[in-house]
Each structure stands twice: as C-alpha cells, then as structure tokens.
Amino acid sequence: MPGCASICTATEFDICKNLVRSDMLIHMTHSLWRNFLSNLWDDAHSNRAFWQTSTLWEQSMSNDWDLWMADDEDVREQNMRAFDLQATDSAAAFDMYRELAGRGSVWAMQQAGRHLEFGWGTERDLAAAENFYDQALMAGSWTATLRLARLLCNHRINETWVAILQDGVDSGFLPSSFWLGWLQYERSPRKRTARAVRPLIEQAAAGGHPGARLVLARWKMRGRFGWREMRQGAQEFRTLLGQHMDGTLRNGDDAADMAVA
C-alpha cells in the first residue's frame, strides 16, 4: 500500500508531543497530523480488495452457507451457472436468478435484488430490489438484512433500516453493529456522531470486522476522539494494512484473533 511505511515512529511522535506547550501549538500539531495521515486513509479506502475482504468476513459470519445448502442440488448448480454468466451475460443471469428466487432459493433472491438495485442486465428498480431483499430477510438471511438496510438508507426510502440493523445488533450479528454505526455517521459525519456510534463500531472491531477496525483507526488518527488517541490510531492503521498486505487479514473466526483491543 503506497505510503504505509511512511507513518511516523513512536519516538518521532513523542518528540513532537513534547514540543507542544500551548493550545495554539496543540491545534497546529493536531491539524498537521490529520492532514499528514489523511492520504494513508484515502489509499486504504480506495482499495477494493480490502473491502472485498471485509464483505467476505461478513458473509462468513452470516448463515449464507446454511441457506445455500438448503437448496436442492439442481438449484445450487443453476445458481452457479447464473453466477458464471454474470460477467458475460448479466441479463441471462438475472433471468435465471429471478426464476430460481420464485422457486424459493434465498441465494437467488439476494442476487436478483442486487441486479435490480444496480441495474445489472435489467432496468434499475429499487422497489423490486427491496422486495427481493425483503423476501430473503423473511426467509432468514442475515446478509439480506444488511443489503436491505443499506438500500433503504442510501436511497432515503424510509427509516426502517435502523430497526432492521438494531435487530441484528440485539441478536449478536456483528456486521449489523458496524453498519448501524457507519450509516448513522454517513448521515451526519461529525465528531459528535463518531463519538455517539463509537460503541457500535468498537463492538464490531472487537469481533474482528475488518471495516470496523479500519474506520475506528481512521477516526482515532484523525482526531475524532481527541489528539491523545491519534498515535494509537496510526499504529492500529499501520497494523491493519500490514495484515491486509501480507495476507494475514483473514475471514471468520481467524479475524477475531486479530481484533484491535
């Protein structure tokens, strides 16, 4: 990751901190650190591979595999064929998913919803996407709760996304903790919001959620919780990116072992 190795050492930070003797210098040091480290965050945020890892982690914590195996073998085979078709004939893939969803495949319900949400192989139809996600949710899919909540929130369809994610939080589904906190912050990206949703993000990070760990480190090093936590945030940020770059940022239970304290 470009710029990852350029984070100041703990010794350099301590020297800088010891030079701060007035409120003005504290403010200046805070601003310099925030600007210096912002490029590092931008690099991580634009790294699609990292967020794919985070999505895979969420799926590993869900019941997707159980729902996949609940389908008959021929349905699973057709879902796989539809998946393989997505890159070359998204319209045909969508038609297959829609037909399989009608036969009760929860996996296909989610995929049909995604095609409709993003306009893959069909006209974009948010209401129809919501309907497919809702069907999958009612069939017991935890991943569908995340997709439905993000759809409702991002397009400001209604505010039921809060209750949907809160149900996941109450049920111990860690990805819900991250998304409930993050979507609230996106609505109001202020220090006050970051501090209010911090317990949700910390809960997800403590369980190993890669995205939550990254957001928490970013907030700390950018001074969202005060300048005293900026050094810790930079260290956590560097550790997380290092794990991602060397392939040790894993999915599922292994990720929990690397949670930031």
Average pLDDT for 232-248: 83
pLDDT at 246 over 90: no
pLDDT band at 34 (very low <50, low <70, confident <90, very high): low
pLDDT at 9: 39
Say if residue 41's pLDDT is above 60.
no
Query: Which sequence spans correspond to the domains of the chain?
Result: 1-62+178-261, 63-172
Q: What is the pLDDT of residues 61-91, one digit of tens each?
A: 999 999 999 999 999 999 999 999 999 999 9
Higher pLDDT, 254 or 115: 115
Asked whether the beta carbons of 208 and 178 are under 8 A apart, the reply is: no
Q: Which of the listed CATH numbers 1.25.40.10, 1.20.1250.20, 3.20.20.70, 1.10.40.30 matches domain 63-172?
A: 1.25.40.10
Mean pLDDT score, 182-208: 96
Query: Most distant CA pair in the chain: distance in Å?
Result: 71
Please report the pLDDT score of residue 127 as a whole number.
98
Flag the least confident range among 135-149, 171-185, 234-248.
Answer: 234-248
Which residues, 6+ apart, have CB-to-CB distance to 228 below 8 Å? none
pLDDT 10s digits, 186-196: 999 999 999 99
pLDDT at 177 over 80: yes
Most confident of 31-45, 52-66, 96-110: 96-110
CB 82 within 8 A of CB 96: yes
The answer, yes or no, to whether residue 172 has pLDDT greater than 60, is: yes
Q: Is the pLDDT of residue 25 over 80?
A: no
Predicted local distance difference test score (pLDDT) of residue 174: 97
Q: Is the pLDDT of residue 6 over 70?
A: no
> Do residues 19 and 12 make contact, with C-beta atoms less than 8 angstroms apart?
no
Length of the chain, in residues:
261
In the predicted structure, residue 46 carries a pLDDT above the cut 60: no
Q: How far apart are CA 240 and CA 65, in angstroms?
A: 27
pLDDT beyond 70 at 176: yes
pLDDT band of residue 155 (cuts 50, 70, 90) is very high
Using DSSP's 3-state secondary structure scheme, residue 193 falls into helix
**Number of other CB atoms surrounding residue 99 within 10 Å:** 14
